[in-house]
Amino acid sequence: MVSARATRVWLQIHTWTSLISMVFLLMLCLTGLPLIFHHEIDELLEHPIAAPPMPADTPALSLDRLIESARNQLPSQHALFVTLKEAEPLVTVAMSATAIPVPGQFHRITVDARTGAVLGEEPPHQGVMDIILQIHRDMFAGLPGELFLGLMGLVFVASIVSGIVVYWPFMRRLEFGTIRDRSSRVKWLDMHNLLGIVTVSWALAVGLTGTINTLAVPLSDLWRAQTMPALLAPYQGKPIAASAAVDAAVTAVRQAFPDRRVSSVTMPTTARFGSPQHLIVWTKGKTALTARMFQPVMVDAQDPTKLTAPPVAWYLYALQLSRPLHFGDYGGLPLKIIWALLDIITIIVLSSGLYLWIAKRWGSRKKSAVVVGSTAPVVVSP
Amino acid sequence: MKGPISSAIASDRDERRSAWQVFRAPLMIGLVSAAGLAFGLFGDGLWDSLCWLGLSVPILLSLIHGVPWKRSAKQA
């Protein structure tokens, strides 16, 4: 039994946690809506490079030969990553003019895996969708902005939990789903209660995973700091390996981990995301659940039989699992449409909540003014 | 507390519902949509269909109760 006093406290918690996070959540919901269809919109706006039709069993060339093609295209540049496309026989080589890359200064050369022909360069990503993504992720404020939005995610969760608590006193005399027509305020109160309570699971999942996603950079840094120094200590200060047999490394990893798929290779580098003496072969699982679990394997650039697979920390698994649950990209187009509809319902819950708060303050003040006179009292709501 | 919101909370002792009665439906909806969220991660095909089914429940209930067709039909 929740006492009237406890109800008032919970209602205050619900009001203020909602008001604090309101502006940011409306921004997140509005920018999130087009981002759900990021992939589809990108395909519509940009024309992705496609592999020319060839017989399905045409063998692929060695990765080293494909990287050579990209290097010939931009001879003065450093090859940093090689990404193997899953759906098409294409390989993308990320090239940078500097050994330590500057964000956004990549050239991404797409090579046909069967002929070694350079098919083109993917345009650098700075379209409308990327601007929307950046607003959604950090509001152009970098890591502090990202962490701040993560905090707002937690405030949102507090607002949902307190909302569940006050749902009871509001609905004690009403059947589930009742929308009363008595007045605009009562109608929107009922609507707020209905739409809010039916979307609780989804809103909690997206809110919590959103907060976890804001920790991506610090968590990856933490893992790197815990794992890499010990592994890299013997190679510290050594120059970048002159040559690296990428194909031999990938073959060795495929043999050692037959249940995993190679998704990309980080070339030897002095930058902090790699090793000067190793190729880092990134693998992921083959099932729907493990396809989002990335596991790096370090391969000695001189001797591809020397493999090291650093254990992935539990918090990186949590991070990797949080991504699909936030983006809604794990169940085809129908799930994206469902995600968008739930997002729109959340926008209605947020704005009706704001309306109820404004209507109560404004309504009470008007009524008090009639009773007390022109001295506008400080309304202690509710 | 003032206005219609407080009248929705207070008084009327005749038809009070218990926490179980109030939360029964939301709990079921919450479990079904949480199951939908999880099923989609397990695999493609049937799992995806179960995911769509589970997460459609909150949307369908919003439409059924939130859109005023029932009330206008009653008044007519």
Chain A, chain B: beta-carbon pairs less than 8 Å apart: 135
Report yes or no on B50 lying in a domain: yes
Confidence of residue A366 (pLDDT cuts 50, 70, 90): low
Report yes or no on B43 lying in a domain: yes
Report yes or no on B11 lying in a domain: no
User: Residue A374 pLDDT more than 60?
Assistant: no
pLDDT at A110: 93
Report yes or no on B17 lying in a domain: no
Average pLDDT over residues A232-242: 77
Q: Which has the closest alpha carbon to A113: A92, A136, A140, A143? A: A92
Confidence of residue B73 (pLDDT cuts 50, 70, 90): low
Average pLDDT, chain A: 88
| Nearest chain B CA: its distance from A181 CA (Å) | 9
User: Residue A237 pLDDT more than 80?
Assistant: no
Percent of chain A past pLDDT 90, that is, above it, reads 59
Q: CATH topology of A51-122 equal to that of A218-327?
A: yes
| Nearest chain A CA: its distance from B33 CA (Å) | 6
Name which residue leads in pLDDT, A237 or A101: A101
Confidence of residue A163 (pLDDT cuts 50, 70, 90): very high
Report yes or no on B20 lying in a domain: no
Average pLDDT over residues A23-45: 93
Number of domains in chain B: 1
What's the domain range around B37?
Answer: 29-68
User: Residue A211 pLDDT more than 90?
Assistant: yes
Report yes or no on B52 lying in a domain: yes
**CATH class label, A218-327:** alpha beta
Reported pTM = 0.82
| Nearest chain B CA: its distance from A128 CA (Å) | 29
* Chain B contact probe: residue of A197, A329, A381 with most B CBs at under 10 A: A197
Report yes or no on B48 lying in a domain: yes
- CATH code of the domain made up of A51-122: 3.10.450
| Nearest chain B CA: its distance from A77 CA (Å) | 40
User: Residue A288 pLDDT more than 80?
Assistant: no
Confidence of residue A226 (pLDDT cuts 50, 70, 90): confident
Per residue in A179-198, pLDDT tens? 998 899 999 999 999 999 99
> Structural domain boundaries of chain A?
4-40+130-213+331-367, 51-122, 218-327
- Residue B30: its chain A contacts at CB < 8 A? 200-201
Strand partners, A109: A93, A121
- Residue A8: its chain B contacts at CB < 8 A? 1
> CB of A26 within 8 A of CB of A130?
no
Report yes or no on B49 lying in a domain: yes
pLDDT at A4: 86
* Chain A contact probe: residue of B2, B7, B9, B32 with most A CBs at under 10 A: B9
Which residues lie closer than 8 Å to A163 by C-beta, 6 or more apart? A14, A18, A196, A197, A200
* Chain B contact probe: residue of A12, A172, A326 with most B CBs at under 10 A: A172
